[in-house]
Each structure stands twice: as C-alpha cells, then as structure tokens.
Amino acid sequence: MGMKTKVALGAVVGIVVIGAVSANSGSGNDGNGGNGGGTSAAADKDAGGSAGKADDAAKSDSGDKGASKASQAEQFKAFVAKNGTPKEKDAVAHVVKIQGADQQNDILDSADVYTDFTGGLMGEGSGPSKLIASAFADWKDSKNGLVTVYDADGEIITNGNF
C-alpha cells in the first residue's frame, strides 16, 4: 500500500471518528429542557435494566465460552452454508478467523476477516474476498459497519460496508 493511500485512509478514519464523537456529544442533558428530557431518562433507565441482565448473561457464558459457543468464523460459515450461493460457499471456505463481528454499536462498527489467501490486493483472493465481504454484509447488519478481509500475511485484500 502506497504512502498516499495510507495518508488518505488515515484522514478518512479520523474524519469518521470526529463525526461520531461530535454526533454523540450533543445527546446529554444541557439543562435547558431540551428535546424529551423525561423520555430520555426513562429510556436510560430501561436500557440500564436490560443491559445489566445482558452483562450477567455474558459473565456466565464467559467461563464456558469454548465449550458451548461456536467461534465467529464457525457461525459465519454456518450462515453461508445455509444461505449462500455456491461461489460464496467456496470463498468462505478460506476464512480462518473473524474478529469484531459480535461487538456492534451502530456508530463505527468494524470487523476483520482473516483468510488463507496469499498475494494481497493483487493475489488469488481478490475476487473471492469480495464475495466474502458481501456474504458478511448478509450475515451482519449495521448502520455504519466496515468489514475488512485480510490475506494470510495480514495484508488487506478488500473491504466493504455491512
């Protein structure tokens, strides 16, 4: 990847992060009776109650994570095996690891898919990696998600929105 591409990618990521932070900074209580103050407190109360239950469930699952829960890559492969096209199934067979697919907040979601392809952007996995990104978008949904597909050496092959 060239230096200009790295600088441009860094600038885009910086702008997205600044936009996400500024969009969230105006949602607090500013003391002037803003937009639905009572509703916001009720929503926060409900979210806190259900979040506490979800945290308790996550804590109980963390002890036996490997025993009963399939990895993200296994879940993705099972989804594509059930719902994917034959070409997507062939492409997804090269997936070895997925990170970040289980943690989404719809602000800046990012998932990484690692494959056993070689050669980076111009290698053998260029075409199939686009199918992997497309199948990932069918599997997960986010308002602002980005999936990045990497080769065996950790070089970016492609990315796409989900």
The strand pairing partners of 111, in sequence order, are: 147
More confident residue, 4 or 60: 4
Q: Which of 96, 93, 98, 111 is nearest to 72 (CA)?
A: 98
Average pLDDT estimate for 102-107: 85
pLDDT (0 to 100) of residue 4: 63
pLDDT (0 to 100) of residue 70: 85
Q: How many residues does the chain have?
A: 162
SS3 42: helix
Angle between helical axes of 72-83 and 126-139 (0-180°, round to 10): 90
Average pLDDT estimate for 100-116: 91
pLDDT (0 to 100) of residue 43: 40
Does position 88 have pLDDT exceeding 90, yes or no?
yes
SS3 95: strand
Q: How far apart are CA 86 and CA 90, in angstroms?
A: 6
What share of the chain has pLDDT > 90, as a percent?
46
> For the chain, what percentages of helix, strand and coil (3-state, to nearest 5) are there?
55, 15, 30
Average pLDDT estimate for 136-147: 93
Q: How far apart are CA 21 and CA 106, in angstroms?
A: 13
- Please tell me what DSSP assigns to residue 149: E
Q: How far apart are CA 92 and CA 71, in angstroms?
A: 14
Average pLDDT estimate for 93-105: 92
Question: Of 16-25, 68-77, 120-129, 145-154, which gets the smallest average pLDDT?
Answer: 16-25
Q: The pTM is what?
A: 0.59
